[in-house]
Amino acid sequence: MDKFSLKILSTLIVTATLLGCNDDKKVEEDTKPVTQEEKKKEPLSQPLVSAIYTADPSAHVFNGRIYIYPSHDTATGTPEDDLGSHFNMMDYHILSMDAPGGQVTDHGVALHIKDIPWAGRQLWAPDAAFANNTYYLYFPVKNKQDVFQIGVATSSRPEGPFTPEKTPIAGSYSIDPCVFKDDDGRFYMYFGGIWGGQLQRWTNNKYDSSAKNLEGDQTAVLPRMARLSTDMKSFAEPVKEIKIIDKDGKLFREKDNDKRFFEAAWMHKYKGKYYFSYSTGDTHYINYATGDNAYGPFTYQGVILNPVDGWTNHHSIVEMDGKWWLFYHDVQLSGKTHLRNVKVTELKYNEDGSIQTINAYK
């Protein structure tokens, strides 16, 4: 073999060796664990608005258009704690759109805390309803004794502005009102939230400021409900507890915190069945339970939405043009638990009526 051929052979051997080394390096890189910093979550949905921070979306179809009644998060500088003191919201902005995916309109301030005579602080998650040719906005806010109650305000338009009643709804307490209209035209309010929502302080509709959060094997605190009077501004009956039970008919204990109720009650109906959904709070799931009437009991069925970025989640479910939609929030815009953004994604049922679990990230 001449010198020229030897030189070519040598070059080929070196090249092959280098390629082999590079392939080994690539295999090593491909099998190397991906760190949390390297793995970026891709959101399933994008925020509906970005000019303000919004959370806790209660969605309804009024006049063929979707109206969303969210909380309005602001950076107040209040230190974080387990009572949610850093959620010190001051007003409500109502959003609307022709359909999911369409352009979103922010209708501006619909109600401000300074216009509520009995209010002290913390204007938390609201809901809305239409009856008597009037739109009703239901809202929780701490009174001047720092106890949450639920108020109501009215308007001739779904986007407001709303005029609040001078006093809260008699017999109301805690947070997160959801107002549901049944097929017979009756309206029911579901409500409650533990920890900062104070529900654990209420037993037999009486308030005990010294009551502590429940623990371990203690039976979990149950959400509350009452039928609304025809004036939509008062309860037609005493407030009742709602039972959420497992498949064996047993109530959940506080240590069952991936299934028990924490806050964010929502009620909807699908094929004649009542679906009561809620947040588990400290375990961050949106779960659901089903029943045969508005009062329950409701049997636990599973998870609607897996945990999102941010400590809280709060949702609503609405039908439009034959499709169902889940509204929820996360912290994509800010990365901060108290500065959230509202989102929407399609919700789907299986043939047996069960809800397909949604992951908020791809």
Catalytic residue set: 56, 263
Question: Rounded to the nearest 5°, which phi and psi values hold at 48?
Answer: -70, -35
Q: Around 26, how many Cα atoms within 13 Å sit in the side-chain half-sphere?
A: 6
DSSP of 261-289 = --EEEEEEEETTEEEEEEE-GGG--EEEE
For 3-22, letters b (16+ CB in 10 Å) and e give eeeeeeeeeeeeeeeeeeee
Provide the sign of the torsion angle of the four alpha carbons 333, 337, 339, 340, taken in this order.
Answer: positive
What is the torsion angle, in degrees rounded to the nearest 10, for the CA atoms of residue 264, residue 79, residue 82 and residue 119? -50
- Nearest of 147, 210, 154 to residue 173 by alpha carbon: 147
- Nearest of 55, 180, 91 to residue 130 by alpha carbon: 180
- Nearest of 211, 99, 228 to residue 147 by alpha carbon: 211
**Pairwise CA distance, residues 261 & 221, whole Å:** 7
**Pairwise CA distance, residues 357 & 347, whole Å:** 9
